[in-house]
Amino acid sequence: MPQLGTTSTASGGTARRRRTRVCAAVLAVGALTAGTVAQSGAQAETPAPQAKEDISPFTGLPAEPAPVMAVKLDNHPDARPHTALEKADMVVVEQVEGGLSRLIGVYASQQPERIGPVRSARDYNIEQLRMFDRPALAYSGAAKGTEELIQKSPLYALSNDTFPSGYVRDEAGEPPHNLYAQPDKILDAAPDASLSSDIGFRFGAEPKDGVPTEEAHVEYPSASTGFSWSEKEDRWLASFDGEPAENAKGERLGGKTVVIQEVDMRPSEINPKTPYIETVGEGKATVLRDGAAFDTTWKRTDAEGDTTFTRPNGDRMPFDRGQVWVVYKER
């Protein structure tokens, strides 16, 4: 295979030398012209254009593209408070067996020292997370059939069972609620994890026709997730099971935008006691931002596709800039 930039004939070499001479001449003329302008003061120097600022497709805030890591998080009362959940770009609330709730933190803009407590994955997480292409997935493990599917999937699946050096147990906590992921080690083991890119979210000014809303709740059989609007903090403050949701520092958790996404939850084919959350399809969603609620329709055509949120007038629903929470609600 010939190397780039080489030629194999004399005529090609002549042409290349001719182009070199022409370029040199142009550069010389340009330098002479620039010197003349500078001496005469007839024209001010043109400033160099500023580089366009990178914006996170997950939060709408300044952030360079970075590897995406999804962390499956425990949300049992004994697992709270959570560590570094406030640093996630996105927080996803989902129902698991027994009507309990689990969380997924999606990280790209920030990489904390550790995240947790970490718990197990489910089979639908494969389809769900393909929206991010090939992210790293941190989780404690999974049931036998589910683990086989995850390991065969395109995800960078790095569980405590298969990659224990990426995790640490906190001796101050009780198993199984004391396992924490170490993002630097997990991402080192996922060198080709996909970078943050467009997943369908849009950010912008608040539409003027929202319904003023102070509180919203999603109920599972054995868990609840609530949000209350804080004018002072300009965000939605989260609660779990009627109690304020806090991080390990005692700070309140919450997001600038909350999406309550209505989905089908059928029994899993691997474990019928576990809901399989259908994230491909379409349905209703309520978007909360700036103390108001907006009716939208969500749509995702396939596992590798974006999830879009559209208003009744056909416009894309703009999110507020900042952390986004997505809560799945059974329809």
Q: What is the pLDDT of residues 109-164, one digit of tens each?
A: 999 999 999 999 999 999 999 999 999 999 999 999 999 999 999 999 999 999 99
User: Tell me, what's the pLDDT at 9?
Assistant: 34
Interior/surface letters 62-74, b for 16+ CB within 10 angstroms, e for the rest: ebeebbbbbbbbb
Given 188, 221, 240, the domain boundary residue is 188
Residues 266 and 308 in one domain: yes
- If asked whether residues 274 and 183 sit together in one domain, one would say no
Q: Do 212 and 117 reside in the same domain of the chain? A: no
**244 and 321 together in one domain:** yes
pLDDT over 50 (residue 104): yes
**Domain end point (choices 188, 216, 231):** 188
On whether residue 137 sits in a domain, the answer given is yes
Whether the per-residue pLDDT at 12 is higher than 50: the answer is: no
Based on the fold, state whether residues 151 and 221 are members of the same structural domain: no
Residues 104 and 138 in one domain: yes
Both 207 and 171 in one domain: the answer is no
User: 90 and 150, same structural domain?
Assistant: yes
Q: Which of 240, 261, 232 is nearest to 324 (CA)?
A: 261
Least confident of 26-40, 85-99, 209-223: 26-40
The reported pLDDT for the residue numbered 19 is: 34
Instruction: Tell me: pLDDT of 26 over 80.
Output: no
- Band (31; pLDDT cuts 50, 70, 90): very low
pLDDT at 72 over 50: yes
Are 178 and 270 part of one and the same domain?
Answer: no
At 59, the pLDDT band (50, 70, 90 cuts) reads: very high
Q: Is 50 exceeded by the pLDDT of residue 37?
A: no
**At 301, which CATH number?**
3.50.90.10
Same domain, 145 and 213: no
Q: Which of 157, 188, 219 is the last residue of a domain?
A: 188
Task: Please state the domain count of the chain.
Answer: 2
Range of 177's domain?
A: 69-188
Residue 3: predicted pLDDT: 35
What pLDDT score was predicted for residue 53?
Answer: 84
Q: Which pLDDT score is estimated for 244?
A: 98
Whole-number Å distance between alpha carbons of 270 and 287: 32
Q: What is the pTM of this model?
A: 0.85
| Mean per-residue pLDDT, 86-109 | 98
Half-sphere exposure for 314 (CA within 13 Å, toward CB): 0
**Dihedral, CA atoms, 189, 191, 195, 199, nearest 10 degrees?**
-50
Q: Are 57 and 196 in contact (CB under 8 A)?
A: yes
Q: Tell whether 319 and 216 lie within a shared domain.
A: yes
SS3 51: coil
Flag whether 19 is in a domain.
Answer: no
Whether residue 154 has a cis bond before it, omega within 30° of 0:
no
